[in-house]
Amino acid sequence: MKIDNSLPLEYSTEENRLKIFGFWIFLGAEIALFATLFATYFVLVDGTGNGPTGEHLFKLPTLMFQTIFLLTSSFTIGLGINAMRLGRQKATIGFFIITLILGLGFLGVEIYEFVEYVHEGATIQTSAFLSSLFTLLGTHGAHVTLGLFWEPSSSCRSKSAV
Amino acid sequence: MKELFPRGQVMGFAFSLVLTLVALSVIMFDLSLKMAMIILLVTAFMQAALQLVMFMHAGESEDKASIYTNVYYGLFVALVTIFGTMLTMIWGYQ
């Protein structure tokens, strides 16, 4: 395997560069996927039927916790990559673990939120608005969950390759 | 220790929080729907661009052009999907 040491670690081989490029193609598809879910939500947002409206349902503190968890997690994974490029293995793993905990925190708050909604009689079957909302949030939650498994598995693989 | 917290990334993180606060101002103050939508759209796009460039390192490698082409194509499909859906399902035309 040809290793180019002038580039950051993750771009140092052809295979790694291709994997990163492949991930960007996946992200392009994600942008399109979430556009369809948002479009559906925008169309159905007033279709609340006998169920609660968004104004009834959305609580500021849970939304803020979720936002801050996700924004902080992208900051800490950025710091992790920076530490990795500096060759600071312990710091890298530390930042990755913090990132995973923040991801778990987000999921915890989201699951709590879903349980609250269902207790308030707002299920995926209650109204068109809630069907589109749960589909949108659930798809996003599924992505975070997948990332939670993906990140450690790719870290372990790269560790065993070293 | 300092090398573990690059200035650029710390500033980027602070800015991402500021963008969230600005978006939050929409519900704090009584704004018209049009004004609120403008603020949300602008902060959302800035937030997305900040995340991609600052924290996901778009545009650092040689295949920069292909990566940006791909992201712009995804955005194009997204905007056509959303505005096309709004046109056919909500706004209609005369």
Cβ distance B81 to A78 less than 8 Å, yes or no, reads: no
Of A112, A134, A107, residue with least CA distance to A52: A134
Could you report the per-residue pLDDT of A57-86, keeping only the tens digit for each?
Answer: 999 999 999 999 999 999 999 999 999 989
Distance from CA of A118 to the nearest CA of B (A): 25
Q: Decide if A90 is inside a domain.
A: yes
Q: Looking at the structure, do residues A87 and A143 belong to the same domain, yes or no?
A: yes
pTM over 0.95: no
| Cα gap A112→B39, rounded to integer Å | 29
Q: Is A71 close to B27, i.e. CB distance below 8 A?
A: no
Identity of residue B15? F
The string of pLDDT tens digits covering residues A110-142 is 999 999 999 999 999 999 999 999 999 999 999
**A123 and A68 in a common domain:** yes
Q: Are residues A71 and A21 in the same domain?
A: no
Instruction: Return d(Cα B14, Cα B54) in angstroms, integer.
Output: 12
Q: Which of B5, B51, B62 sits opposite A74 (nearest CB)?
A: B51
Chain A: closest CA distance from residue B36 (Å): 15
A64 and A141 assigned to the same domain: yes
Name the maximum alpha-carbon separation found in chain B. Answer: 63
Chain A contact residues (CB < 8 Å to B): 7-8, 11, 17, 20-21, 24-25, 27-32, 34-36, 38-40, 42-43, 60, 64, 67-68, 71-72, 74-75, 77-79, 81-83, 86, 88, 91
Contact A92, A80 (CB under 8 A): yes
Which sequence spans correspond to the domains of chain B? Answer: 1-56, 61-94
Q: How many CB pairs under 8 A join A and B?
A: 93
How many structural domains are present in chain A?
2
Smallest CA–CA distance, residue B93 to chain A, in Å, is 16
Which residues of chain A neighbour B58 with C-beta distances below 8 Å?
24
List residues of B whose CB lies inside 8 A of any A CB: 3-6, 9, 12-13, 16-17, 20, 24, 27, 51, 54-58, 60-63, 66-67, 70-71, 73-75, 77-79, 81-82, 84-86, 89-90
Question: For residue B52, is pLDDT > 70?
Answer: yes
Q: Do B74 and A83 touch (CB under 8 A)?
A: no
Q: What local confidence, expressed as pLDDT, does residue A52 receive?
A: 94
Three-class SS state of B23: helix
Clarify whether residues A147 and A67 are in a common domain. Answer: yes
Q: In terms of domains, do A135 and A158 share one?
A: yes
Residues A13 and A77 reside in one and the same domain: no
Q: Is the pLDDT of residue B86 over 60?
A: yes
Same structural domain, A74 and A28: no
Within 10 A of A31 (CB to CB), how many other CB atoms are there? Answer: 20
Give the C-alpha separation, B54 to A77, whole Å: 11
My answer on whether A65 and A34 are in the same domain is no
DSSP state of B60: S
Q: What is the rounded CA–CA span in Å between residue A113 and residue A89?
A: 36
Contacts of A1 (CB under 8 A, 6+ apart): A13, A15
Please, which residues have CB within 8 angstroms of residue A38's CB and are 6 or more apart in sequence?
A: A136, B82
Statement to judge: residues A27 and A68 lie in one domain:
no
- Separation of alpha carbons B77 and B11, rounded Å: 31
Same domain, A65 and A16: no
Domain limits at A103?
A: 57-162
Residues A19 and A88 in one domain: no
- Report the SS3 class of residue B57: coil
Residue B83 has pLDDT above 80, yes or no: yes
| Residue A50 is assigned to a structural domain of this protein | no
